[in-house]
Structure 1
């Protein structure tokens, strides 16, 4: 299966031409990693203050644009470095399989960054210019994730940095622009979300382990091996759900947050989907299940905060 040609890979991944070429370039399955933190941070703010819808919308769009641009930088720089080819799985494939010019992908990524900056200016005008410094740092990390001389994605710290900036930082900003403060509770709440975002990166590195190793990457999956990486993935899922339970019992989260447990089935599917697998295409369902686990947890967590706003429940 690993030796499939370009057309066979496209067929196996159900890739279609036309508009879907550009849709795949965004890697839409990863965009929930930018939507979830904004949603959670804003819903947390709703419990402590009124929410400005336009600030929420601007923050959400800016975060998704930065995430999409980061995906495009990934596509561009992995192609430039010769890491992606027409048989590569898990990429948009717009350059290597659909023939989109690499410079087009790069320019589109920079355009997305430019729009995100304009949205950031509006957010700063409505809140604080400190957000600009944090936003620039976040965008820089998005670029350096696969760009620059020492890409973060090629190191053991990719999951940690992605989880921190896309989880803790975005939740913190989303809460701050609505309330003009950041509380300890919000920081605690951000941790399981950050972990789940990190698991998306980890699952990607588990799938690409052999190819990454051949190209000199030093991801955590490579350093500890495939079997231990799957165990780490399962452990991170367990830790996140345990933290959620602890937060409920300590009053950081409302009892409604137990609805996040409805997503555990996807977490189990993700772990089982990786066990014993070594072929990239065979691990795609596990990758999808990992992303869905993050989506379900984040959406249900945000929903639980919204329910608490309308139906307060106290022990």
Structure 2
């Protein structure tokens, strides 16, 4: 039976910055529009965190029963390692996703944006369908697309809209940037797993691109995530603050380009998550300073 510590490790806390970053960016954009609403921001954060934990447990369960995680390098997998029963991990996934739905419903009721119920349902289905079901899209190289959509525009613009009732150019650009960083994190994870994924027939985008091109794409996504923000600088000069992330991006980029041992890429996951969190905080600071 898995210990509490193992369940926490199985939740993959290092991925949570990827979930909270778009909420911070979206809330900052709502503030810029004059529509900051803290209770709705908290609910949006709760939805994002619970969805991320749910998808982490769902991936653990689905990959575990398929045998994908039997030789996995990296953090503990509850099912693959045998420390937890598959049914228990599946139940944990459903519990987290269910709580996310409850929080999401409360957010919709407060904002009266009823059409977001369809978006929320799509997010839950996407969370399960990544590695679950008969034809998981994560095994066909589409995981990166869904991560960009749901951890970029959907999470960011949804957060902005439920607070301000509209979106802005800053919200859109910020959503693209945080989405790209989220995809970069997934790419780092999948580059590490190319040998084992290839062996079990999991055709992630990293597998399709090949090791060298997948590594280069990670660096390109980080670079574009900052460069695209420069479009907004003439109107909001404080957004130059995001360039402070350049030094933080150098080490993980170097590891991705030169780290041949798969275990050498493990720290990149945490570093990329922190980069996304740093981006969101600097973006938010720029929005606040613009109005001072």
Q: Quick check: TM above 0.5?
A: yes
Aligned to 1:95: 79
String of CA shifts for 1:77-132, please: whole Å, max 9, x gaps: 000101112x5223432233361211111111111111111112211111111111
Equivalent residues of 2:147, 2:183 under 8 A apart: yes
User: Structure 2: how far apart are the matches of 1:193 and 1:257?
Assistant: 14
1:155 to 140, 143, 156: 140
1:78 to 53, 59, 63: 63
User: Structure 2: how far apart are the matches of 1:105 and 1:280?
Assistant: 26
Match of 1:55, SS? helix
TM-superposed deviation, 1:157: 2.1
Aligned to 2:249: 267
String of CA shifts for 1:158-184, please: whole Å, max 9, x gaps: 112101111110111100111112334
Aligned to 2:21: 36
TM-superposed deviation, 1:50: 3.4
Aligned to 1:207: 192
* Cα gap change, 1:82 to 1:96, in 2 (>3 Å): closer
Aligned to 2:98: 114
TM-superposed deviation, 1:21: 1.1
User: Structure 1: how far apart are the matches of 2:285 and 2:97?
Assistant: 29
TM-score when normalising by structure 2: 0.93
RMSD value, Cα: 1.7
Aligned to 1:191: 176
* Cα gap change, 1:114 to 1:257, in 2 (>3 Å): same
User: Structure 1: how far apart are the matches of 2:72 and 2:205?
Assistant: 20
TM-superposed deviation, 1:134: 0.7
Q: Which has the larger radius of gyration?
A: 1
Within the alignment, does 1:283 sit opposite 2:268 as a pair? no
Within the alignment, does 1:136 sit opposite 2:121 as a pair? yes
Mark the runs of 5 or more structure 1 residues left unpaired by the alignment. 1-16
Equivalent residues, number:
290
2:159 to 155, 168, 174: 174
User: Structure 1: how far apart are the matches of 2:237 and 2:74?
Assistant: 37
Equivalent residues of 2:72, 2:193 under 8 A apart: no
User: Structure 1: how far apart are the matches of 2:223 and 2:4?
Assistant: 39
